[in-house]
Structure 1
Amino acid sequence: MKYLHLALDFGSSGGKVIAGNIQNDKLILSEVNRFSNSPVEISRISFWNILNLYNHIIESIQIAQKNDQKILSLGIDSWGLDFGLLNEKGYLINNPVHYRNMFKTNIMQEAIEKAGKKWIYEHSPTQFQPFNTLYQILAYQKYAPDFVRISKDLLMIPSLLNYFLTGEKAIDFTMATTTQIYNHRKRKWDEEIMKKFDIPDILPEIVPAGTKIGKIKKDVLNNNSDIDVILPASHDTGSAYAAIASDPSDTLFISLGTWCLTGAIVKEVPFNKELMENNLAAEGCLDGSFRILANVTGMWLIQGIIKSLNLPGNSDTYQKITDMAQNAKPFSSYINVDDPSLQNPQDMIQAIIQQSIKDNDTVLNETSQVIRTALEGIAFKVNEVKEKLSKILKIDFKRVHAVGGGTRNKLLCQFIADATGLTVLTGPIEGTAVGNLVSQLYALQFVKNFEEARDLIKRSFDFQIFEPKEHDVWKEAFTSFQKKK
């Protein structure tokens, strides 16, 4: 009989289920299932189809149990920030709302005006984003107060799905740190933020990442299930960072997917006003440390370009898009990839063209130029983050290590090496799933500590290396763009 651990990784555009088992002292992966995660739009509001995601969990477990395979454990990770609300009877009140709706509101600014940006950051030092959980709760209070009034529990996406499976309610440390309600220094929910903004006592118990929370209920799979449900590093970036095996003391880490989440790891969050001034997040890691990072817009731009071109989102299309960028003229323009206009546009190509005019007074006439400018913009932004983190945290970065599906884009990886002047290591590609599985192995004591976990990853996967080739050219181009602004 083959014994498996299942990593259920839900991203904002799709989900996948990866099985892991240890063979010959290596972690071996196999894909169980893959599916789209498409929001449903009603009256111009986008909702997550949470019940469909739950059905995919059940379907994936049933697929994995075939062929004399026994599932020992499973763990769910997802994007952060979004949540479902339960009433006092445990029934789901709302279909979770998609975080990108929050770009249409001014709730974050209203909260800052009420409490002060410095006050909020001192209590919960994370990145100010209009879609943070705090501001989503305030939006409910403003636009749908009855939902909050009858709520008994607020559960983030992985915790909500775990509740459906086990009946248990808990959130892990890594996900709690993303909400802007968590006090990183006291390591608990911040009571003053809750009081200031009249947030009721609906937040769940916080447990360490890698905690066994229960078994799947007997009625879920119509049998006597003995599967342990683990809360891994349930924020997908937390799991992705858990898969990075490079030395955490001098490595710039990137989780490269829809977002290009770029940061460094520290033991404790420093008291430093520059973190707030540069809008850097402080989010939790599997081992209880923190990642100080920036949410740089990543492959979201390429996904949007593909949608604008009405092309299928498959590997052939991504290769075609990359080839177009490869053959385009370098440094046609510069864009700020994090501009709000690029976060939810109707037409990404037109949005990038307009952003180029705004940022660089340059019209991009060819689609290939649009694609290359987007990729170059991501690499430029990564280098900006590197410079800021190096200065603020006093880290002399020796390398970049990137994980995630976006690392399949070798052109972007080379751009990042050239922009930063650092060697870029990539792998594992399924970084989030690997980190999720490592969390489970730690919870079940198959690995005793995090050093053992890193060693397991190192001997289990191949890594690609990209050496910087044109760092001086990139520096000159960026300086030129900055002078034009």
Structure 2
Amino acid sequence: MNNHIAVDIGASSGRLVLGRLVDGSLKLEELHRFRNGFSEQGGSCYWDIDALLQEILTGLHQAKLAGIHECTLGIDTWAVDYVLLDSEGKRISEVYAYRDRRTDGVMEEVGRLLPPEKVYAKTGIQQLSFNTLYQLYVHDRKELEAADQILLVPDYLYYRLSGRKMNEVTNASTTQLLNLAARDFDAELLEFLGLRREKFAPLTEPGEELGFITQELRVKHDLPECRLICVATHDTASAVLGAPVPEGRSSAYISSGTWSLLGVELDQPINDCRAMAANYTNEWGAYGTYRFLKNIMGLWLIQEVRRLDGSRHSFAELAEQAGACEGFRSLIPCNHPRFLNPDDMIREIRQACLESGQPVPQTPGELARCIFDSLALSYHTYLAELEGLTGRSIDMLQIVGGGANNELLCQLTADVTRREVLAGPSESTALGNLAVQMIGTGGLTGIQEARRVIARSVPVKSYLPRAVPGLETLLARWEQLQTAGN
């Protein structure tokens, strides 16, 4: 079989992508694209999980109309958010979005009851206010007691298609509930939450076959015969798999989308006190690896600016306008909690600049330039941390995902970090999803071959660093701003 479909759903959009191996190259075709986003109801933020399932079915029906009668299928989405099922497998409640403010202050509250150092030593997962640990801590107790199973979002979508319940490891690790040593949910953390291990389905590794889409769905929606394969369901895990790192180079990756995830792939976790102090995470990867990385606020900042501006300009137009503005005029500490989900991102950025005595960006171009400059400087800061924590000297950054298309941001990153930047593939998440499917069905022998195939299948652009006048002064100013922002 040479028809493989990746369902790739991010925080702002989703798509179904067909992948085929043709003459040693991986050919992609987008079958269906749709919007995604959380909505506010009664003061809380929720995902429309039923709409996402319907979009998958719509895309598969379109695949059938295009002549695809048999295929494999893999699903990846964002992390940490979950679905509660009752004993009949029905959803108990709406699905909270991780940007919901119900967890404000909860991380600190839990930290007073459960030493953060102990949790990090067990799990290796960074302290983020929206981690599943904190979401479950504040979830309605009656709903949790009524829950027979707790599935993460991609696990739930697989379940609705196949009837099989599982917790895939790359996404499950982000819950801050998996024990690195035991390779399972941590008994003490579950006891702290008042949850039994049986409420979570068995852990499943990428590459495992999950059966076929149910006959009922196939007939009702006129779908192809789809063999479901468990891929790396955390989109960042799939994106890293789809990054064709050049052999012989000491490199780090930035998976650039709504979030920017900067890190390296390791065979062993780093969960010592230094890594904890720097707030780096050890998310489980496919094939026994770990993604040692830093979460950076990412393109969410510009997505919100564009939305609040009425979407009058495309992202490419905003980048072009930013390029015409004075560089490094106004900067913001991107990872400050104030930018996680403010009522008005434009107002929040302007207020942050005002408070720090900087010029206040007014136009869309000035706002975009502020964001891109600040992201590039964030990459500089965290890359230096990464080198110190891993003991690696990194000579190249590979930017994958949607941010790889932003030429201004890629060049700024090369300039500020003083390293070559390889931009691409922008489709790394779908490529990594497809790679696991092809490995699982024998079309590829393993991840190394998959990455070689990806490298010759997609274009990658090199950005060499250019001189930045007064760079050392700029970096000193940036560090002062970061310190004040924290």
TM-score (norm 2): 0.95
**1:144-155 matches, cutoff 5 A:** 144-155=140-151
Between stretches 431-440 and 285-294, larger displacement belongs to 285-294
**Cα deviation code 1:42-68 (max 9, x no counterpart):** 101111111111111111111012232
TM-superposed CA distance for 1:430, in Å, is 1.0
* 1:354 alignment partner AA: Q
Secondary structure of the corresponding residue to residue 175 of structure 2: coil
Confirm or deny that 1:26 pairs with 2:22: no
**Cα deviation code 1:210-248 (max 9, x no counterpart):** 221111110012179631111111000000000111158
Whole-angstrom CA distance in 1 between matches of 2:441 and 2:19:
14
TM-superposed CA distance for 1:392, in Å, is 0.8
TM-superposed CA distance for 1:471, in Å, is 5.1
Q: Tell me which residue corresponds to 1:250.
A: 250
Q: Which of residues 454, 464, 468 is equivalent to 1:467?
A: 464
Confirm or deny that 1:412 pairs with 2:409: yes
* 1:59 alignment partner AA: T
Between stretches 453-462 and 216-225, larger displacement belongs to 216-225
Q: Tell me which residue corresponds to 2:302.
A: 302
Secondary structure of the corresponding residue to residue 337 of structure 1: coil
Whole-angstrom CA distance in 1 between matches of 2:317 and 2:63:
34
Q: Tell me which residue corresponds to 1:200.
A: 196
Confirm or deny that 1:436 pairs with 2:433: yes
Q: Tell me which residue corresponds to 2:117.
A: 118
Whole-angstrom CA distance in 2 between matches of 1:272 and 1:50:
37
Whole-angstrom CA distance in 1 between matches of 2:150 and 2:281:
22
Between stretches 250-259 and 2-11, larger displacement belongs to 2-11
TM-superposed CA distance for 1:440, in Å, is 0.7
**8 Å contact from structure 1 (residues 182, 188) kept in 2:** yes
Q: Which of residues 393, 397, 409 is equivalent to 2:394?
A: 397
* 1:405 alignment partner AA: G
**1:74-93 matches, cutoff 5 A:** 74-93=73-92
**8 Å contact from structure 1 (residues 103, 131) kept in 2:** no
**1:259-408 matches, cutoff 5 A:** 259-312=259-312, 317-358=314-355, 360-367=356-363, 368-408=365-405
- The alpha-carbon distance between structure 1 residues 133 and 211, as it changes in their structure 2 partners (threshold 3 A), is same
Between stretches 235-244 and 247-256, larger displacement belongs to 247-256
TM-superposed CA distance for 1:363, in Å, is 3.4
**8 Å contact from structure 2 (residues 435, 450) kept in 1:** yes
**8 Å contact from structure 2 (residues 422, 462) kept in 1:** yes
Whole-angstrom CA distance in 2 between matches of 1:479 and 1:82:
38
TM-superposed CA distance for 1:473, in Å, is 4.0
Whole-angstrom CA distance in 2 between matches of 1:389 and 1:294:
8
TM-score (norm 1): 0.95
Secondary structure of the corresponding residue to residue 253 of structure 2: strand
**Cα deviation code 1:107-157 (max 9, x no counterpart):** 2211111011111111111111111111111111xxx21110110100111
Aligned-CA RMSD value: 1.7
Q: Tell me which residue corresponds to 1:213.
A: 210
Between stretches 341-350 and 288-297, larger displacement belongs to 341-350
**Cα deviation code 1:161-194 (max 9, x no counterpart):** 0000001011222111111001123221111211
Confirm or deny that 1:159 pairs with 2:158: no
Whole-angstrom CA distance in 2 between matches of 1:205 and 1:172:
8
**8 Å contact from structure 1 (residues 218, 225) kept in 2:** no
**8 Å contact from structure 2 (residues 404, 424) kept in 1:** yes
Count of residue correspondences = 477
TM-superposed CA distance for 1:270, in Å, is 2.5
Whole-angstrom CA distance in 1 between matches of 2:15 and 2:451:
23
| Dislocated runs of 4+, deviation >4 Å | none
Whole-angstrom CA distance in 1 between matches of 2:99 and 2:417:
30
Whole-angstrom CA distance in 1 between matches of 2:379 and 2:259:
11
Whole-angstrom CA distance in 2 between matches of 1:3 and 1:483:
54
TM-superposed CA distance for 1:472, in Å, is 6.3
- The alpha-carbon distance between structure 1 residues 385 and 103, as it changes in their structure 2 partners (threshold 3 A), is farther
- The alpha-carbon distance between structure 1 residues 284 and 271, as it changes in their structure 2 partners (threshold 3 A), is closer
Whole-angstrom CA distance in 2 between matches of 1:186 and 1:268:
14
Q: Tell me which residue corresponds to 1:186.
A: 182
**8 Å contact from structure 1 (residues 64, 71) kept in 2:** no
Confirm or deny that 1:168 pairs with 2:147: no
**8 Å contact from structure 1 (residues 102, 136) kept in 2:** no
Whole-angstrom CA distance in 2 between matches of 1:208 and 1:229:
13
TM-superposed CA distance for 1:466, in Å, is 0.7
Between stretches 113-122 and 474-483, larger displacement belongs to 474-483
**Cα deviation code 1:253-305 (max 9, x no counterpart):** 11101111111111111242111101111112222211111110111111111
TM-superposed CA distance for 1:97, in Å, is 0.6
For structure 1, the 5+ residue unaligned runs are none
**Cα deviation code 1:416-436 (max 9, x no counterpart):** 111111111111111111111
Secondary structure of the corresponding residue to residue 274 of structure 1: helix
Secondary structure of the corresponding residue to residue 96 of structure 2: coil
* 1:301 alignment partner AA: L
Identity of aligned residues (%): 28
**Cα deviation code 1:10-58 (max 9, x no counterpart):** 1111111111011111100001011111323210111111111111111
Whole-angstrom CA distance in 1 between matches of 2:479 and 2:88:
57
TM-superposed CA distance for 1:158, in Å, is 0.6
Q: Tell me which residue corresponds to 1:49.
A: 48
**8 Å contact from structure 1 (residues 420, 471) kept in 2:** no
Whole-angstrom CA distance in 1 between matches of 2:5 and 2:205:
19
Secondary structure of the corresponding residue to residue 209 of structure 1: coil
**8 Å contact from structure 2 (residues 218, 225) kept in 1:** no
**8 Å contact from structure 1 (residues 4, 70) kept in 2:** no
For structure 2, the 5+ residue unaligned runs are none
- The alpha-carbon distance between structure 1 residues 71 and 378, as it changes in their structure 2 partners (threshold 3 A), is farther
- The alpha-carbon distance between structure 1 residues 428 and 365, as it changes in their structure 2 partners (threshold 3 A), is closer
* 1:245 alignment partner AA: P
- The alpha-carbon distance between structure 1 residues 22 and 331, as it changes in their structure 2 partners (threshold 3 A), is same
Secondary structure of the corresponding residue to residue 130 of structure 1: coil
TM-superposed CA distance for 1:207, in Å, is 1.5
**8 Å contact from structure 1 (residues 134, 180) kept in 2:** yes
* 1:323 alignment partner AA: E
